[in-house]
Amino acid sequence: MTSQPALIEQAILCVPGGGRQEDLATAIGVAQQTVSKLLRGEVPVSPQQAIAIHRATRGAVPGSALRPDLWRCPEHVPIDRPVDVPSENATPPAGVAS
């Protein structure tokens, strides 16, 4: 399995106009500092970021490589629809114990 820093480095190089953290940050809608933290392995890649990286690199860095705990192969990554991941502060639906 390829490490997160290696995958982020690959993503930086694969985005159009790539080669800079800023290019990947713009492509996936985060701050450059977030890409830096991802590159250093200080924070894990979120499901939303994994999908955004998959899209931005046109599958060269698949979300399934970044988050194998969520998707087994690139075809399973839901790149055509938004991911519904509940936040830690989300209110559970009525009738669901928290």
Q: What is the pLDDT of residues 19-56, one digit of tens each?
A: 899 999 999 999 999 999 999 999 999 999 999 999 99
**E strand segments, the chain:** none
Q: Which distant-in-sequence residues (6+ apart) come within 8 Å of 70 by Cβ?
A: 47, 50, 63, 64
Q: Which distant-in-sequence residues (6+ apart) come within 8 Å of 69 by Cβ?
A: none
pTM of the entire predicted model:
0.78
Identify residue 20 by its one-letter amino acid code. R
Q: What is the pLDDT of residue 8?
A: 97
Q: Could you tell me if 25 and 34 are in contact, meaning their C-beta atoms sit under 8 angstroms apart?
A: yes
Under CATH, which architecture does the 4-76 domain have? Orthogonal Bundle (1.10)
Q: What is the pLDDT of residue 82?
A: 56
Q: How far apart are CA 28 and CA 1, in angstroms?
A: 23
